[in-house]
Amino acid sequence: MRIDGRQNHQLRPVEISLNVQRYPEGSLLFRAGGTQILIAVSVEDGVRDFLRGSGLGWVTAEYAMHPRANKERQARDSRRGKIDGRVQEIQRLIGRALRAAVVPKQLGERTIVVDCDVLDADGGTRTACVTGGFIAMALALDPLCKDGTVGTGVLREAIAAISVGLVNDEVLLDLCYREDSSAEVDLNVVGTCTQGIVEVQGTSEDAPIPRAQFNALLDVALLGIPQLIDVQMATLKDANVNLTRLLAS
């Protein structure tokens, strides 16, 4: 049995509080076990230079750690005057994943900025940002879709993300921090409810892993993702979001 009593292929409980801030077009607090992230989605007119005049929209993400998201206080990036390499890598993954969930033509020349502020870090923060970020984007786009600002089907399909790892040769889904620290392999997967793959990013921390084990890890991740998409859909329905209008498929 796992540190926190879960089965190997069991997700941590997810809790989502909507509209926790006044101003963002979409805002929520996403909790998965001990991980807690504040997500705020802004929809702004205009796009970067390379897309101007194309009629296409863009999605970008910013990821920041609260100084006390961890046991020891860490200096803010703003005080150190530069952005940490790990932060850069993570926010690029989140941006790519959420960009893949949007139909750029239906968005039009608008930029969606997804601000992810990690309040508590207990493993799986980047995947939580993707899963929660999709919900916050849907919240932000629903009224814009309703009033015709953005086109129907602006969201291609629901996506979610989860981590999976190998700990003592067992495949564990949704690693908490302590499990992650001792994992031989750590795989982050972004996917859809029909096992479509949006992004895979995995690293063996020790010995290279055989192909069969890699497949087993990917299998477990792709079984976890639809469960998270169920949570997304239930949350959005409770919030009276018109999913038929919003989703392309």
Site of interaction with its own copies (CB under 8 A) = 20-24, 27, 34, 36, 38, 40, 42, 44, 62, 64, 66-71, 73, 76-79, 81-83, 85-86, 88-89, 91-92, 96, 100, 113, 115, 117, 119-120, 122, 156-157, 159, 187, 191-192, 195-211, 214-215, 218, 222
Q: Looking at beta carbons only, is 11 or 69 nearer to its own copies?
A: 69
Closest separation between CB of residue 22 and its own copies, Å? 5
Give the largest Cα separation in the chain, rounded: 56
Closest separation between CB of residue 73 and its own copies, Å? 4
Q: What sign does the CA torsion over 123, 125, 127, 128 have?
A: positive
Q: What sign does the CA torsion over 20, 25, 31, 34 have?
A: negative
| Contact yes or no for 113/144 (Cβ under 8 A) | no
- Nearest CA to 140 out of 245, 31, 241 is that of 241
Q: Which of helix, strand or coil describes residue 229?
A: helix
Mention every residue, 6+ apart, whose C-beta is less than 8 A from residue 30.
Answer: 14, 15, 16, 36, 37, 39, 128, 129, 131, 132, 135
* Angle formed by the axes of helices 125-146 and 85-99, nearest 10°: 40
Q: Looking at beta carbons only, is 7 or 143 nearer to its own copies?
A: 143
Closest separation between CB of residue 31 and its own copies, Å? 11
Q: Looking at beta carbons only, is 7 or 33 nearer to its own copies?
A: 33
Closest separation between CB of residue 223 and its own copies, Å? 11
Q: Looking at beta carbons only, is 57 or 202 nearer to its own copies?
A: 202
Q: Looking at beta carbons only, is 78 or 168 nearer to its own copies?
A: 78
Residue where the block lists tokens 């949704």? 174
Q: Looking at beta carbons only, is 7 or 89 nearer to its own copies?
A: 89
Closest separation between CB of residue 40 and its own copies, Å? 5
Closest separation between CB of residue 200 and its own copies, Å? 5
